[in-house]
C-alpha cells in the first residue's frame, strides 16, 4: 500500500497548533533557503513536523504576502460572484484575491453561507424558474457536465448590476509573458464594477467575463476547443514561441468575439492581469459595450 503520507508516519511528529518558536524556525528556514522540497524542510529547519504541515503553515499563515483580517465588502462580492461561477473551487477563487488563501475563503464561505441559509429560510431565493433566464434543464446539465461542477446560476449577486447571468473563465495557461509586449494591453480593458470598487483583478491568466442575455452552451464549446497556450512565463514576443502563442491567442479572441456577437450580449468585458503586478491594467470607468469592444488585438 503505497505508504500513504509517509511524511506523517514518523513517530515524533508534532501536531496541532504551531507555537511561536516553531513559526520562527520555519520562517527563518524558508526565508534563507526557500522551499524546494517540503518533505525535507522539517528536518533541515529543526522542526518535529511533517513536511505537509510545514507547507500548510507557510502557505496559509506565515508567508509574507499573506493578507489577513476581515474581508472587505469588495472581496466579499468577488467571492460570491466567483463562487456562483466556479462553485467550491476555493483555490481558483483564491487566485483572484491577492493575499487570500483558499482555506481562508473556504472558512469564510462556510460561515457566511450558514448565516445566509439560516436567514433565508423564511424567504428562499428565487428559483431558476422565476428568473428571466431561459434555458432547458438539459442545457444546464450539459454545462455542469462540461465544467465539472454544479454551480448556481448567478442571477442575484453578480458583480454586474444587471440581472443577466455572468460567466467567467480563464485561459488555461498564464499569458503574462506573452502579453507583456502585446498591443492588446492598450485595449479598453474593462471591468466596470471592479474598477468602481477599486478591486484590482489579480489573476494568473487572462480572463474573460461575459454577461449574456442567453444561456451558454456555445461558449462552453469554445472553451472546450481552446488550445492551451504553452509559453514559459516571461517569454517575450520576439523570442521563440512568442509569435505562435500570440497567434493562438488572437484566434481564441476572435472565436470569442464572434460568439459574443452572435449572442447579442448585453455586455462583454475582458481583463488581463499579470502576476506580481508586473503590468497593471487599469479598468476604465465604464464598461465597454460590445459595439465598442475592439475586435482586434
Q: Which residues bind DNA (CB under 7 A)?
A: 2-8, 15-18, 35-39, 49, 51-53, 55-57, 60-61, 88-92, 102-104, 106-108, 110-111, 114-115, 118
User: Residue 246 class from Cβ within 10 Å (0-12 exposed, 13-18 middle, 19+ buried)?
Assistant: buried
Nearer to DNA, 104 or 211 (CB): 104
Nearest to 86, CA basis, from 156, 146, 173, 161: 146
CB of 12 or CB of 132, closer to DNA: 12
Q: Smallest gap, in angstroms, from Cβ of residue 65 to DNA?
A: 15
Max CA distance (Å), the chain: 66
Q: Among residues 94 and 210, whose Cβ is nearest to DNA? A: 94
Q: Min. distance of Cβ 167 from DNA in angstroms?
A: 18
Q: How far is the CB of 98 from DNA (least distance, A)?
A: 15
Shortest distance (Å) from residue 70 CB to DNA = 7
Give the DSSP per-residue string, 5-53: TGGGTSTT---SSPPHHHHHHHHHHHHHH--S-GGGHHHHHT-SS-HHH
Q: How far is the CB of 281 from DNA (least distance, A)?
A: 23
Instruction: Using the minimum distance from each CB to DNA, give the nearer residue, 37 or 123.
Output: 37
Which DSSP letter does residue 171 get?
-
Q: Which three cell numbers mark 295?
A: 475586435
Q: Terminus-to-terminus CA distance in the chain, angstroms?
A: 53
CB of 61 or CB of 202, closer to DNA: 61
Amino acid at each position: 500500500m503505497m505508504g500513504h503520507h509517509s511524511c506523517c508516519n514518523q513517530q515524533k511528529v508534532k501536531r496541532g497548533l504551531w507555537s511561536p518558536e516553531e513559526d520562527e524556525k520555519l520562517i527563518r528556514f524558508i526565508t534563507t533557503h526557500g522551499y524546494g522540497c517540503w518533505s525535507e524542510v522539517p528536518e533541515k529547519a529543526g522542526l518535529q513536523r511533517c513536511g505537509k504541515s510545514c507547507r500548510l503553515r507557510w502557505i496559509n499563515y506565515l508567508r509574507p504576502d499573506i493578507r489577513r483580517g476581515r474581508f472587505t465588502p469588495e472581496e466579499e462580492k468577488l467571492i460570491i460572484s466567483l463562487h456562483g461561477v466556479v462553485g467550491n473551487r476555493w483555490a481558483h477563487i483564491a487566485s483572484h484575491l491577492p493575499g487570500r488563501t483558499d482555506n481562508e475563503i473556504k472558512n469564510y464561505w462556510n460561515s457566511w453561507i450558514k448565516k445566509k441559509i439560516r436567514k433565508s429560510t423564511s424567504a428562499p431565493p428565487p428559483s431558476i424558474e422565476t428568473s428571466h433566464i431561459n434555458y432547458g434543464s438539459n442545457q444546464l446539465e450539459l454545462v455542469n457536465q462540461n465544467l465539472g461542477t454544479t454551480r448556481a446560476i448567478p442571477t442575484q449577486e453578480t458583480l454586474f448590476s444587471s440581472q443577466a447571468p455572468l460567466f467567467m473563465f480563464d485561459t488555461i495557461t498564464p499569458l503574462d509573458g506573452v502579453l507583456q509586449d502585446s498591443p492588446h494591453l492598450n485595449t479598453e480593458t474593462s471591468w466596470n464594477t471592479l474598477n468602481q470598487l477599486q478591486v484590482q483583478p489579480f489573476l494568473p491568466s487572462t480572463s474573460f467575463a461575459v454577461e449574456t442575455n442567453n444561456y451558454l452552451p456555445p461558449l462552453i464549446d469554445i472553451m472546450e476547443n481552446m488550445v492551451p497556450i504553452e509559453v514559459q512565463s516571461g517569454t517575450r514576443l520576439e523570442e521563440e514561441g512568442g509569435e505562435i502563442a500570440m497567434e493562438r491567442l488572437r484566434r481564441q479572441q476572435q472565436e470569442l468575439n464572434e460568439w459574443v456577437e452572435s449572442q447579442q450580449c448585453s455586455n462583454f468585458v475582458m481583463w488581463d492581469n499579470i502576476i506580481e503586478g508586473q503590468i497593471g491594467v487599469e479598468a476604465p470607468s465604464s464598461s465597454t459595450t460590445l459595439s465598442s469592444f475592439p475586435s482586434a488585438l
